[in-house]
Amino acid sequence: MPFMKMPIAPHPVALQAKLTALTDGSIYPDCCARVEAIQTHCAWVFFTDAHAYKLKKPMRLDRMDNRCLSSRYRNCLEELRLNRRLAPDVYLDVIALRVGPTGRLSLVDDGVPVEWLVKMRRLPSELLLDRALAIGTVSPAAVHSVGELLADFYLGQPAVPMTGEDYCRRIEREVDANGRALSGRELALPPPIVTAAIAHQRECLRNQSQVLKRRADSGRIIEAHGDLKPEHVYLGVPPCVIDCLEFDRDLRILDPLEELAYFSLECERLGAAWIGQQILDVYLAKRGDALDTALFDFYVSRRASRRALTAAWHLRDRSVRDLKDWRSLALAYLSRTIAQATPASSESDPPSSKRRIASANSGAAVTTRKERDK
């Protein structure tokens, strides 16, 4: 769907009026008696019987600015395009919430667009990996199918042109930026823990620099999913992966091994390290690679520190009430950063074709469902 210039409504429509209208099942193409609504950190999602409609919040974050309607429209288009790579049958369209001459808001009637929503096929929640884990219905066969999907996706993506030197400098900038952000006074995280976590990562980066350079020089860096978590993995037939990170391409530029390290970290946190291991094994087998354990550990450490920052950011959100939960989660991820960032050099340690993800004895097993709201 190409970007188009939008007409301006003669009278502004308040956000609350839009949200209220979207709880009315009669305004939807698939008219229904009841609409369910959930709120995440960056969006509201409205569920009819067969579909889900995502409305992006008019908000600004460090890497995202959705305050104006045109920006939200562009990001809706990006979400549609990117997610069709791994969930082509789920992401259906971008549709307008329009205001008519009488002031009525509708998703089907003519009028001037006042908001844009991503329309998706509604998936059975019990088949999302995090829910399936909670009720004990995950099978190795279903996990293997997801592994095949992800491996084929990674192998099919073109390499992002990047020299090894540029890749290492990029990681160094990210480590430094993460350290500055985690040290922010408003987050009130313990300085010794933050300092230790970042120091460990810098040491690991020095030790891993040659390995990292070779991976970039050999074309291993791609435009990946960007937010591969268990709650984004659908175990149905066919499987799919939803909710790609759409608002910043730079955050999607990754080594697939780092994205799988992130996924392994999150599976471990839910008490299912075997799932991350199985999907990693499928990818390595298709790629024909042995696993460099030290490199994988460094990637896990990087993602843990990033998750610590994401959790800590919620402490700045005035609508968040459970500050203790978010602080505990941030500290757990920071502890995981230190535990995983062993400063051993992979040049001296032979790669291993198998690796068992560390057990969650470092404090990373702190779990809260609220953490899943991005």
- Per-domain boundaries in the chain: 15-122, 127-368
- Check whether 245 has a pLDDT greater than 70: yes
Section 359-368 average pLDDT? 32
Section 263-284 average pLDDT? 96
**Alpha helix stretches (DSSP H) within the chain:** 15-21, 69-83, 129-135, 140-156, 164-182, 191-217, 256-269, 273-287, 293-313, 323-340
Give the SS3 label for residue 99: strand
Query: What backbone phi and psi angles, to 5 degrees, belong to 68?
Result: -105, 155
Q: Give the predicted TM-score (pTM) of the model.
A: 0.85
Confidence at 271, pLDDT banded by 50, 70, 90: very high
- CATH class of the domain at 127-368: alpha beta
Section 42-58 average pLDDT? 96
Report pLDDT for 12. Answer: 84
Question: What percentage of the chain has pLDDT greater than the value 90?
Answer: 68
For the stretch 299-350, pLDDT in tens is: 999 998 888 887 776 666 655 555 557 677 778 888 888 876 554 444 434 3
Pairing verdict, β 51-56 and 60-61: unpaired
The residue among 252 and 364 whose pLDDT is bigger is 252
Query: What backbone phi and psi angles, to 5 degrees, belong to 172?
Result: -60, -45
From the list 156, 258, 146, the residue with the least C-alpha distance to 205 is 258
Q: What CATH number is given for 15-122 in this structure?
A: 3.30.200
